Structure 1
Amino acid sequence: MPEPSSPTRSRRGRFFRFAAAVVVLCAVAGYLVVQYVTGGAGDPGCRVVSADGKGATYEFTSEQAVNAATIAAVGTGRGLPERAVTIALATSLQESGLRNITHGDRDSLGLFQQRPSQGWGTKKEIMDPTYAADIFYKHLVKVDDYQDLPLTVAAQRVQRSGFPEAYAKHEPDATLLAAALTGEAAATLTCDGRQATAQATGPDAVRSALVRDFGRDVLETTAAEVGGKATPTPTPSASRSGERTVTLPVSENTSPGSKRSLRERGWQLAHWAVANASALHIERVSYAGRQWTAGNTDSRWRAADTKGTSGAAKDADAVRIVTAP
């Protein structure tokens, strides 16, 4: 007859089985967390393509697109170069996957995993993407010659991360994103535009979001000086046909140090609107003779329909954002 198992041996076996189950559960939970933080979960929704035709692409969710557009808007609003925006985007890609997360190592929070205990701000401030981006840039510009440093070095001098080399792998994607979201690369960002919430929006919500990211100057009524003379432009307004259209005159960014052209400014505003399409229920965006329409097959930018307007020339000096009914 087989020898009966001792109570001690049985307890030890149950313990090891329990420990193994805990390890498996922790591994699964860790995988899910990583997928969430790095953007592995969820429908991509948005896509950026390279303007040079070499085929480089980056796909991300509408939530990530909104955060990336905010980071770019805050950077250009401070008059900073595209390189600064690239560094900020690469940092956020590594730290949070461009997600405004409420957890992290110790008390780290938000897009850049900034810590209230280290003087980055209050929890409420850090969880505001506009604030988080602004405070990141305030630290970045204090880094001597940050534009000429390797991205990893510049990011590390701001973040003081335990894994400084990790930023480097995100530089290609961040460069692609920065080119689109600063307006340097025209018509390269598209989204499917599916509505994320049932919350009532409209032109007022679009204006509020523009002011949040770019500052109140984005709604100014006077454009840049052209040929030495101030050129008046119409106040951004809702159209009378359904009160659904926001018209943004494209004016020069007057922030100290800004060298962005009117074309780049226009495409930045247009791409910002597309990135925010799901959140703000934006149906159509047009600029410079091109038009993006939510849910239109692959959501590519196409030649704009200028019927009923004064033609493409009128569309070249303003970004027009049409909200869903």
Structure 2
Amino acid sequence: MPTTKRGGVVLSEQRPPSRTRKLVTRLVLLLFVAGLAVAGVVGARGLVTNFGSPRCQATAAGASVDFDPSQTAYAATIEAVAEKRGLPARAATIAIATAIQESKLRNLKYGDRDSVGLFQQRPSQGWGTVDQILDPVYATNKFYDALVKVDGYEHMRITEIAQEVQKSAYPEAYADHETEGRLLASTLSGHSPEGMGCRLDDATSGDPAALKSALSKELGVKATVSGRTLTVAAVSQRAAWSAGAYAVAKASVHGATSVQVGTREWTRTRNSSGWEWHDAKKQRGTANTVTVTFAP
């Protein structure tokens, strides 16, 4: 029986731990701490994904950009007006990038000197009255009116265009937002199908008549409403994806709960699957049919 230096009995728990035992203990502790760190990261991601603020995401050519639902809804208006006017995709890219630089895609009632609105247009420089400029459709049309007067704008650098149209003191700043403008324009115009998704809170009410009116006013698209369902019979598949992306981008405004284009569907949800499209449960119309359902 082992004894202490004083001849007493040494119990097993009193024996000094062996070197192997110390290493094992340290390894266990390290694994435990690492596990806590991984759990923290995963938990934080889960909080952002499932409980963070509502966001919309535009994805095209392997790249993504996200904005809050209000910003995305204004971007949808800017692209829709370009589509209705028959302008090239480049026009919407320029306009959206400009609005990001000027107002961060906010319809501001203030700005430098008398500047207001999405594009920070100034009544004193002939853009219109304050009330007119604060109408996003009016302001966007005025921007395009000025843009199309710039000869060859489709092939110019956005910094050059900003100087021509906005008379900006800092034209180089516009280049910082060109990629964001391009991604939003590509998805909202239907050139990148399934590229627009929004992670949103549950809708408390829906207004299909309001979306029908907005589609006509902004995008130039006719829709029919039956109960809580709105339907668009688009002239082409790209036009269908344009109307579908518009409906998703405006879902926070009009209370849409799902948007279906052909056999693909976006469903309103709070988690990250709201950024994605999935197979629809049933076919509704043709590949060019857009079907939007609303909360009661």
Counterpart for residue 290 of structure 1: 264
Counterpart for residue 71 of structure 1: 78
In 1, distance between residues paired with 2:163 and 2:53? 31
Counterpart for residue 305 of structure 1: 281
Counterpart for residue 203 of structure 1: 208
Structure 2 counterpart of 1:210, which letter? L
Counterpart for residue 264 of structure 1: 238
**Bigger CA radius of gyration:** 2
In 1, distance between residues paired with 2:55 and 2:121? 27
Structure 1 counterpart of 2:145, which letter? K
- TM-score calculated relative to the size of structure 2: 0.78
Displacement of 1:111 in angstroms is 0.3
Structure 1 counterpart of 2:230, which letter? V
Q: Does 1:103 align with 2:90?
A: no
Counterpart for residue 214 of structure 1: 219
Sequence identity (%): 44
Counterpart for residue 234 of structure 2: 250
In 1, distance between residues paired with 2:268 and 2:54? 15
User: Where in structure 1 are there 5+ consecutive unaligned residues?
Assistant: 1-41, 220-235, 252-261
Displacement of 1:43 in angstroms is 2.9
Give yes or no for contact 1:287–1:318 (8 Å, CA) kept in 2: yes
Structure 2 counterpart of 1:301, which letter? W
Structure 2 counterpart of 1:293, which letter? T
Displacement of 1:291 in angstroms is 0.1
Q: Does 1:193 align with 2:177?
A: no
Structure 1 counterpart of 2:81, which letter? V
User: Where in structure 2 are there 5+ consecutive unaligned residues?
Assistant: 1-51
Instruction: State how many pairs are aligned.
Output: 243
Counterpart for residue 287 of structure 2: 316
Deviations 1:63-117 (A, max 9, x none): 0011000000001111000001100011000000011011100000000000001
Deviations 1:245-271 (A, max 9, x none): 0011102xxxxxxxxxx2221111000
In 2, distance between residues paired with 1:237 and 1:176? 29
In terms of fraction of residues, the more helix-rich structure is 2
- TM-score calculated relative to the size of structure 1: 0.72
In 2, distance between residues paired with 1:194 and 1:287? 22
In 1, distance between residues paired with 2:167 and 2:137? 21
| Coordinate RMSD, CA, aligned | 1.6
Displacement of 1:177 in angstroms is 0.8
Displacement of 1:296 in angstroms is 6.2
Give yes or no for contact 2:247–2:292 (8 Å, CA) kept in 1: yes
Structure 2 counterpart of 1:290, which letter? R
In 2, distance between residues paired with 1:48 and 1:237? 27
Counterpart for residue 125 of structure 2: 118
Give yes or no for contact 1:281–1:323 (8 Å, CA) kept in 2: yes
